[in-house]
Structure 1
Amino acid sequence: MSNDNEALTYRAAGVDIDAGNAVVERIKPLVARTFRKEVMAGLGGFGGLFELGGRYRDPVLVSGTDGVGTKLKLAQILGRHDTIGIDLVGMCVNDVLVQGAEPLFFLDYFATGALDVETTVAVVGGIATGCELAGCALIGGETAEMPSMYPPGEYDLAGFCVGAVEKLALIDGTRIQAGDAIIGIASSGPHSNGYSLIRRILERAGSPYDLDLSGTRLDDALMAPTTIYVKPVLKLMQQLPVNGMAHITGGGLRENIIRVVPETLGIDIDGSAWKAPAVFDWLQREGKVAREEMLRTFNCGIGYALIVSREHAGSVLDALETLELQAWTIGEVVSATGDARVHIR
């Protein structure tokens, strides 16, 4: 217990400014790797500067923000902090991509009760890696040390992304028609959704993290970072027309694809058209999770979906294979209204 007469400091109150400065110095080279030529200032300013210049004639800015949910708890339990930042970037940039936008820059928010330099650098390093994978610049962020706000060893994350697309190239679903093919692109696993249910299943199963699932450990399967689809999908759109896209996140296959489909149309999905990673079979079996609950909670092996004209479906699949993305035709757009708009066989 402190003496009421002694001089207090910020460090004594639980905030270590020197640790914060050490984090900034450690992450500077990581952040610098993400910079694009449009970035106008380095890390450390009050605001990040990014110049659009003359690259766009009639640009529309598309923004997104997200976190990684309770996958953070699993990362903290396992002490695996180096890829959770990739998840953070993926959840944001994939959302921005849905409307045809190229992610331009990213900002992060990292909050903890007591700053651990190594953990913080590992997390931000993952964020920088995610930005490199997405081709966007990490131009700023906030590292907040808030004593008594979080239990020891815990932290929270949020991300913010801004992208741009030519107004005439904006993908808003208005070109979608009955008969269009739905192309599903493989996920790396649960990505960053459903982890509150996953953790309950793990508790019931006794947390068998070293369990082998078709050659992959259970902990590796659950911590596999969110696939970032930005670069290959942007390349695909330069080659072939895309009528609509969906990022399969919370709400799963049942609730995400239909979000981009006009109200007079629906979707018919063939659940046997692809093979989901083994981790989903394990989760369903160990948790006794109903199929409908799986489809509303997890991506079930499809992390991103494209809606294209039927005549272009084969070419899109070939292009995705060349771009090293595994994909399948998983369904089609149909005429439907009301509760019948989503049918998953």
Structure 2
Amino acid sequence: MESTYKNSGVDIKAGEETVNRIKGLAKSTFNKNVLSGIGHFGAFYQIDLSQWKNPVLVSSVDGVGTKLKIAFALDKHDTIGQDLVNHCVNDIAVCGAIPQYFMDYMAFGKLNPEKAEQIIKGFSIACKENNVALIGGETAEMPGLYDETEYDISGTIVGLVEKDKIIDGKNVSYGDILIGFKSTGLHTNGYSLARKVLLEKFNLNDKPDLIKNSIGEELLQIHKSYLKLITKLNEKVSINAFSHITGGGIIGNTKRVVPDHLQIKIDWNSWEQLSIFKLIQEVGKISDDEMRNVFNLGIGLIAIVNKNDVDKVIEISKEVIEEGIIIGEIVK
């Protein structure tokens, strides 16, 4: 038999079909700054410099880790794209940046155009919600590297911030208060431990007493975007720092924006821990310290503010239907 690219595992026609399927989804996110359509070697995005005095580019790249394993098992692929966009958006929004555009990378063992379309659908939903343009990406087929039913995704976000409005934690001071905002679940971190613990005892369709949805539904809860909240707070009050709670938990992430001579004191009983975390800890017999090091435990974003601004921050948060919870303080 003649050796061809297709019988070695790469289907060019499937790639072309995928591009045709996703063109409309990507274009639905475009704004006036996007100069190119899908198909060029590079994507073009024009910055309206009349709106900026001293703009700084802020970028971040990420994946969704082994949360993908849950999507594979449930054959549900339309939400992990939202997870990825929202995760990336939060990572630059906490620096004060306004997200501009997003680019994706998808690598398949065997390219399934319908599956790829579902992933991109998730990207496009979140991009529109965050006012971000999905201006390009890469889809690769890698037989032998990935299982035929599996894939990996990553994304890159680029935003802009005025240089004098960068939020980097340099203003964090002794006595500042930590205000936490709720997560929707695990977001995109801690899945290797959660899967090991839960799937030894349950299957994804089980509904243990502690949780209201099935385990699969709980584990696929969409990583929340805090962009509206962060933007609203930045407009009305001076925030000393924000912390996006991802891998490493509340302390591990928040200490990035706290000067070395100061420490973080958390009241771990100040909010109701989400039931999915209670289930993981109970089933896995996991210590409090390990839970705090791995998971967000129900707090996805923290604002560090001057104690005189606490009431104002909590009131402003209500305008975007968010509940601000005092969860700790900065100590010496």
Equivalent in the alignment of 2:41: 46
Q: 2: CA distance between counterparts of 1:62 and 1:110?
A: 23
Q: 2: CA distance between counterparts of 1:263 and 1:277?
A: 31
Match runs of 1:72-87 below 5 Å: 72-87=68-83
SS across alignment from 1:204: coil
**Following TM superposition, by how much is the alpha carbon of 1:30 offset from its aligned partner in structure 2, in angstroms?**
1.1
Q: 2: CA distance between counterparts of 1:236 and 1:133?
A: 18
**Following TM superposition, by how much is the alpha carbon of 1:332 offset from its aligned partner in structure 2, in angstroms?**
0.9
Equivalent in the alignment of 1:342: none
Deviations 1:88-126 (A, max 9, x none): 112211111121001111111000111111111101111
**Following TM superposition, by how much is the alpha carbon of 1:229 offset from its aligned partner in structure 2, in angstroms?**
0.8
**Following TM superposition, by how much is the alpha carbon of 1:19 offset from its aligned partner in structure 2, in angstroms?**
1.2
Q: Which runs of 4+ in 1 moved over 4 A?
A: none
**Following TM superposition, by how much is the alpha carbon of 1:12 offset from its aligned partner in structure 2, in angstroms?**
2.1
**Equivalent position amino acid for 1:181 in 2:** I
Equivalent in the alignment of 2:9: 14
Structure 2, unaligned runs of 5 or more: none
Equivalent in the alignment of 2:326: 329
Deviations 1:53-83 (A, max 9, x none): 2221101111100101111111101111110
The one of 55, 59, 62 aligned to 1:59: 55
SS across alignment from 1:48: coil
Q: 1: CA distance between counterparts of 2:231 and 2:31?
A: 17
**Equivalent position amino acid for 1:323 in 2:** V
Equivalent in the alignment of 2:279: 282
Identity within the alignment, %: 43
User: Is residue 133 of structure 1 aligned with residue 129 of structure 2?
Assistant: yes
Match runs of 1:190-201 below 5 Å: 190-201=186-197
Equivalent in the alignment of 2:30: 35
Equivalent in the alignment of 2:225: 228
Q: 2: CA distance between counterparts of 1:224 and 1:206?
A: 18
**Equivalent position amino acid for 1:110 in 2:** M
TM-score (norm 1): 0.93
Q: 2: CA distance between counterparts of 1:183 and 1:226?
A: 19
Q: 2: CA distance between counterparts of 1:208 and 1:42?
A: 40
Q: 2: CA distance between counterparts of 1:147 and 1:127?
A: 24
The one of 304, 308, 320 aligned to 2:301: 304
**Following TM superposition, by how much is the alpha carbon of 1:205 offset from its aligned partner in structure 2, in angstroms?**
1.3
Structure 1, unaligned runs of 5 or more: 336-345
Q: 2: CA distance between counterparts of 1:70 and 1:252?
A: 17
Aligned length: 330
TM-score (norm 2): 0.96
Q: 2: CA distance between counterparts of 1:111 and 1:38?
A: 28
Q: 2: CA distance between counterparts of 1:208 and 1:78?
A: 8
Q: 2: CA distance between counterparts of 1:49 and 1:14?
A: 32
Equivalent in the alignment of 2:313: 316
Q: 2: CA distance between counterparts of 1:326 and 1:216?
A: 23
**Following TM superposition, by how much is the alpha carbon of 1:176 offset from its aligned partner in structure 2, in angstroms?**
1.0
**Following TM superposition, by how much is the alpha carbon of 1:210 offset from its aligned partner in structure 2, in angstroms?**
2.7
Q: 1: CA distance between counterparts of 2:128 and 2:249?
A: 27
8 A Cα contact 2:203 2:215, kept in partner:
no
8 A Cα contact 1:183 1:330, kept in partner:
yes
CA RMSD of aligned residues (A): 1.3
Match runs of 1:39-188 below 5 Å: 39-54=34-49, 55-188=51-184
The one of 250, 259, 263 aligned to 1:262: 259
SS across alignment from 2:199: helix
Q: 1: CA distance between counterparts of 2:309 and 2:31?
A: 33
**Following TM superposition, by how much is the alpha carbon of 1:208 offset from its aligned partner in structure 2, in angstroms?**
5.0
Q: 2: CA distance between counterparts of 1:215 and 1:135?
A: 32
Equivalent in the alignment of 1:210: 206
Q: 1: CA distance between counterparts of 2:155 and 2:67?
A: 15
8 A Cα contact 1:135 1:231, kept in partner:
no
8 A Cα contact 1:133 1:231, kept in partner:
no
Q: 2: CA distance between counterparts of 1:215 and 1:56?
A: 47
8 A Cα contact 2:70 2:216, kept in partner:
no
Q: 2: CA distance between counterparts of 1:266 and 1:191?
A: 26
Q: Given the superposition, is the C-alpha separation of residues 218 and 303 from structure 1 closer, same or farther in structure 2, using an over 3 Å criterion?
A: same
Q: 2: CA distance between counterparts of 1:243 and 1:45?
A: 41
8 A Cα contact 1:99 1:170, kept in partner:
yes
Deviations 1:4-52 (A, max 9, x none): xx3x332222211111111111111111121122111122211111111
Q: 2: CA distance between counterparts of 1:278 and 1:326?
A: 18
Deviations 1:147-185 (A, max 9, x none): 211112000011111111000101011111111111111
